[in-house]
Amino acid sequence: MQTTYLEAIRQGIWEEMERDPNVFLLGQDIGVFGGAFKITAGMLEEFGERRVIDTPLAESGIVGAAIGASMFGLRAVAEMQFSDFISCAFDQVVNFAAKCRYRWGAAIPMVIRAPSGGGNRGGPFHSQNPEAWFVHVPGLKVLTPATAYDAKGLIKSAIRDNDPVIFLEHKGLYRRIKEDLPEEEYTVPIGRARVFRSGEHLSIITYGAMVYVANDAANQLAKEGISVEIVDLRTVLPIDEETILASVRKTSKAILLHEDVLTGGLGGEIAARIAERAFEYLDGPLLRIAAPDTPIPFSPPLEDAFLPKVSGVVEKARWLCRY
Amino acid sequence: MGAVGPVRATQTVRNNAVTLELDSGLALSALRYMILTREVEDRIEKKLYRQGKIVGGVYVGRGQEAIAVGAGLAAEPDDILFPCHRDLGLYFMRGVLPRQVFAQYMGRVGGLTRGKDGNMHMGDLNLKIVAIISAIGAAIPVAAGAALSLKYKGLPHATFVFFGDGATSRGDWHEGVNMAAVLKLPLVLICNNNMYAYSTPLEKQMACQNVADRGPAYGIPSEIVDGNDVFAVCQAVRRAREHACSGQGPYLIECKTFRMTGHAAHDAGLYVPKHLWEEWAKKDPIERLERLMRTRGWADQAEIDQVYKDVRNEVDEAIDWAEHSPYPDPAELLDNVYGPEG
């Protein structure tokens, strides 16, 4: 039976709750209601109020409580109802959680789950991609799974990890992406990218929902004889530089693609690393494809114009191949 | 069971029903920790800082020593403490040595953070002391989470979180108190209302009369206590602890006191009216305890003098040790951003 991306995350959390009695959940509307996206549906009934905690509407309070509990032997999995709201807890994430180990040796084995991404007509406050804010904070780990397999394997690794992890679930993938998952238990290592599609002529380095935009573009380009390699980062902090560099050394051309806005986004960081360490392998300029530098608009024609599209990727890939 | 309350108004509790076994031993212990706190902070602020031996800022609790020490006397060993930057006494009561504090202020490896952070930003999980971050109000939700861990495990302990009047203006103070109240967490909230947050006086900080007035808004009991009376603080904290540990949720204590110093060593506090310094100098918590001890016959002047002498000797040795503690090797820069497993 095929498992959706959403169900895969749910299964991963469920298995870790069964495996470790110190794992607990907290957030708004996660218990009785089962969460705004139903990731935690059924968990209150199975694990009880002690381990599935409906909290007041207070992101700073939720993240702070997750930090304090995780400092003293528990493993908190906190839910931000939408990743957009994590800005309300910014101080707790970047100044408290991220720095405790470095400053005074206190590990914070906490996960913050945050549904992110656009395409759902959510408008400026229910659609954002906040990864770049946190990739700039040493001490955090930031995960951006694209497949159901990785979503399950990475949420399990995140819960077992001894550092604070931001787990960005792309809302557009929740019910759209499904695949057969292994019967047996598995995890996916944090900090490792994977080659999503092997190719010869150019590399698209991407993550999250853009993996599928890249793949659709690659299918079109294949008909024109252009063979595209897609690297799915899976983890954006720490960045798996070796997998990126190996791909670029093979294809000699690279597009950096993300749904987040252009300026200060991950594309610039990855481009710099490629330029520093694989410059002599490049046969063309590094190209970034990202959303424009605007808030995420609401109305369908505006949001469609905002999100990076297959046609745009195809066009830039053709240009780069001719270069 | 059931809700706390209806809490009609702030109670100014002078509850003699919870009696404390006051005796010479307890008094001597309190006196020793208060004098040690003051001596360590005086040396840091008035000597070492001016000699250029301190790295960065200095924040002391002069005039407020009774709060940390009074609360420390009420704490059980497994209670979790979140001191703020004017609560040095709590560290000593949990076994931190003065030499570690001097080394911390000097940025040496002998400090609790090995030079990764400075001054009162220090903690030790083995001692169940959590290090503050600069935004003090941020500690309240984290302390609520620590209290949650106690409740989760069914442990009969409490978490104590300390803060000043300024922190109660912060959003996450309110989020943390509300969360702890709703989830009925064993959290004791201890405010040192010293009437100033940096240069901002109380009337520009809040429109209510007392920090304790904020308690009823969250459905939790609160009380006002004389923060310069070490035993009054201790008794209030014991009541609060009993309440918190009995499953009734958090309890707010406002300790009225005064900051007998500027915000930090660089700040002479020229914005503080002179009469306030004079008025509060007469209420010094250490002199007050000494008077009580003499009156009750718990100690004579010679015994008190001996405490001062012992503390000074201990502090002299501690400073010497700290000055010989090396600075961290720059190679440690990259250590401990993440755990050893990656």
Span A246-295, pLDDT tens digits? 999 999 999 999 999 999 999 999 999 999 999 999 999 999 999 999 99
Q: Does B122 lie at the interface with A, CB-CB under 8 angstroms?
A: yes
Query: For the segment A212-237, what is each residue's pLDDT rounded down to a tens digit?
Result: 999 999 999 999 999 999 999 999 99
d(CA B339, CA A105): 9
- CB-CB neighbors (< 8 A) of A91 in chain B: 133, 135, 138, 172
A258: Cα separation from own chain's centroid: 11
pLDDT of residue B10: 35
- In a domain, residue A140? The reply is yes
The answer for A 157-216 residues in CB contact with B (under 8 A) is 161-163, 190-191
Q: State the ipTM, two decimals.
A: 0.97
- In a domain, residue A186? The reply is no
- In a domain, residue A290? The reply is yes
Hey, what amino acid is at B330?
P
Is residue A9 within a helix (H) or strand (E), and if so which, with residue range?
A: helix A5-19
pLDDT of residue B20: 57
Q: Which residue of A has its CA nearest to B340?
A: A162
pLDDT of residue B22: 76
Contact between residue A238 and residue A245 where contact means Cβ atoms under 8 Å apart: no
Residue B2 has a CB neighbour count (10 Å cut-off) of 5
Residues A32, A123 share a domain: yes
Which of A26, A28, A59, A71 best probes binding to B when mutated, by most B CB atoms within 10 angstroms? A71
Q: Which of A128, A144, A18 is nearest to A82 (CA)?
A: A128
Residues A47, A166 share a domain: yes
User: Chain A: nearest CA to B112, how far in angstroms?
Assistant: 7
Does residue A104 sit in helix, strand or coil?
helix
d(CA B228, CA B249): 26
Active-site positions of A?
126
d(CA A83, CA A132): 12
d(CA B199, CA B262): 8
Which of A180, A211, A233 is the endpoint of a domain? A180
Q: Which residue of B has its CA nearest to A141?
A: B338
Please state which architecture CATH assigns to domain B24-323: 3-Layer(aba) Sandwich (3.40)
Hey, what amino acid is at A49?
E
Q: Which of A278, A189, A288, A187 is nearest to A241 (CA)?
A: A278
Residues ≥6 apart with Cβ < 8 Å to B86: B59, B60, B61, B64, B67, B68, B120, B164, B192, B194, B259
Residues A167, A82 share a domain: yes
d(CA B175, CA B30): 34
d(CA A204, CA A212): 11
Mean per-residue pLDDT, A197-201: 98
DSSP A309: -
Contact between residue A81 and residue A28 where contact means Cβ atoms under 8 Å apart: yes
* Tens-level pLDDT at each residue, chain B (342 residues): 333 332 233 333 444 444 556 788 999 999 999 999 999 999 999 999 999 999 999 999 999 999 999 999 999 999 999 999 999 999 999 999 999 999 999 999 999 999 999 999 999 999 999 999 999 999 999 999 999 999 999 999 999 999 999 999 999 999 999 999 999 999 999 999 999 999 999 999 999 999 999 999 999 999 999 999 999 999 999 999 999 999 999 999 999 999 999 999 999 999 999 999 999 999 999 999 999 999 999 999 999 999 999 999 999 999 999 999 999 999 999 999 999 976
pLDDT of residue A83: 97
A209 has a pLDDT exceeding 70 = yes
Contact between residue A285 and residue A255 where contact means Cβ atoms under 8 Å apart: no
- In a domain, residue A298? The reply is yes
Q: Which residue of B has its CA nearest to A91?
A: B138
Q: Does A4 lie at the interface with B, CB-CB under 8 angstroms?
A: no
Percent of chain A with pLDDT over 90: 100
- CB-CB neighbors (< 8 A) of A163 in chain B: 338-339
Hey, what amino acid is at A153?
G
- In a domain, residue A185? The reply is no
Does residue A91 sit in helix, strand or coil?
helix
Residues A212, A261 share a domain: yes
Which of B130, B153, B175 lies at the smallest CB-CB distance from A61?
A: B175
Residues A168, A247 share a domain: no
- In a domain, residue A189? The reply is no
Which of A100, A139, A191 lies at the smallest CB-CB distance from B342?
A: A191
- CB-CB neighbors (< 8 A) of A58 in chain B: 141, 175, 178-179
Contact A101 B144 (CB under 8 A): no
- In a domain, residue A62? The reply is yes
The domain containing residue A18 runs over which residues? 2-180
Contact B152 A66 (CB under 8 A): no
B248: Cα separation from own chain's centroid: 24
CA atoms within a 13 Å half-sphere pointing along the CA-CB vector of B160: 34
The answer for A 249-308 residues in CB contact with B (under 8 A) is none
User: Chain A: nearest CA to B339, how far in angstroms?
Assistant: 7
pTM over 0.90: yes
Residues A80, A123 share a domain: yes
Phi and psi at residue B314, to the nearest 5°: -60, -40
pLDDT of residue B253: 98
Q: Does B138 lie at the interface with A, CB-CB under 8 angstroms?
A: yes
Q: Which of A112, A108, A23, A20 is nearest to A67 (CA)?
A: A108
Residues A135, A23 share a domain: yes
- SS3 assignment for chain B: CCCCCCCCCCECCCCCCCCCCCCHHHHHHHHHHHHHHHHHHHHHHHHHCCCCCCCCCCCCCCCCHHHHHHHHHHCCCCCEEECCCCCHHHHHHCCCCHHHHHHHHCCCCCCCCCCCCCCCCCCEHHHCECCCCCCHHHHHHHHHHHHHHHHHHCCCCCEEEEEECHHHHCHHHHHHHHHHHHCCCCEEEEEEECCEECCEEHHHHCCCCCHHHHHHHCCCCEEEEECCCHHHHHHHHHHHHHHHHHHHCCEEEEEECCCCCCCCCCCCCCCCCHHHHHHHHCCCHHHHHHHHHHHHCCCCHHHHHHHHHHHHHHHHHHHHHHHHCCCCCHHHHHCCCCCCCC
d(CA A62, CA A66): 6
Q: Which residue has the higher pLDDT, A4 or B6?
A: A4
d(CA B191, CA B211): 8
- CB-CB neighbors (< 8 A) of A136 in chain B: none
Q: Region of A191 please: left (phi>0), alpha (psi -120 to 50) or beta.
A: left
Which of A28, A54, A103 best probes binding to B when mutated, by most B CB atoms within 10 angstroms? A103
Which of A180, A210, A230 is the endpoint of a domain? A180
For tokens 């008035």, the residue is: B46
**Torsion on CA atoms A41, A46, A47, A52, rounded to nearest 10:** 20
Residue B314 has a CB neighbour count (10 Å cut-off) of 16
Which of A64, A68, A103 lies at the smallest CB-CB distance from B121?
A: A103
d(CA A37, CA B165): 40
d(CA B6, CA B322): 52
Which of B101, B121, B172, B187 best probes binding to A when mutated, by most A CB atoms within 10 angstroms? B172
pLDDT of residue B341: 77
Q: Which residue of A has its CA nearest to B115?
A: A103
Q: How many domains does chain A have?
A: 2
Indicate the burial class of A182 (C-beta count within 10 angstroms; 0-12, 13-18, 19 or more): exposed
Contact between residue B111 and residue B105 where contact means Cβ atoms under 8 Å apart: yes
Is residue A291 within a helix (H) or strand (E), and if so which, with residue range?
A: strand A287-291
A-B CB pairs within 8 A amount to 143
Residues A38, A171 share a domain: yes
Contact B138 A91 (CB under 8 A): yes
Which of A55, A73, A103 lies at the smallest CB-CB distance from B116?
A: A103
pLDDT of residue B342: 65
Query: For the segment A298-310, what is each residue's pLDDT rounded down to a tens digit?
Result: 999 999 999 999 9
DSSP A92: I
Mean per-residue pLDDT, A92-98: 98
Residues A150, A294 share a domain: no
Look at A30-34, A95-99, B12-16 and tell me which has the smallest mean pLDDT.
Answer: B12-16
Which of A155, A180, A205 is the endpoint of a domain? A180
Q: Does B333 lie at the interface with A, CB-CB under 8 angstroms?
A: no
d(CA B217, CA B66): 28
B37: Cα separation from own chain's centroid: 11
d(CA A98, CA B195): 32
Note if the bond before A295 is cis, omega within 30 degrees. Answer: no
- Residue A209's domain is classified under what CATH number? 3.40.50.920
For tokens 């560290």, the residue is: B91
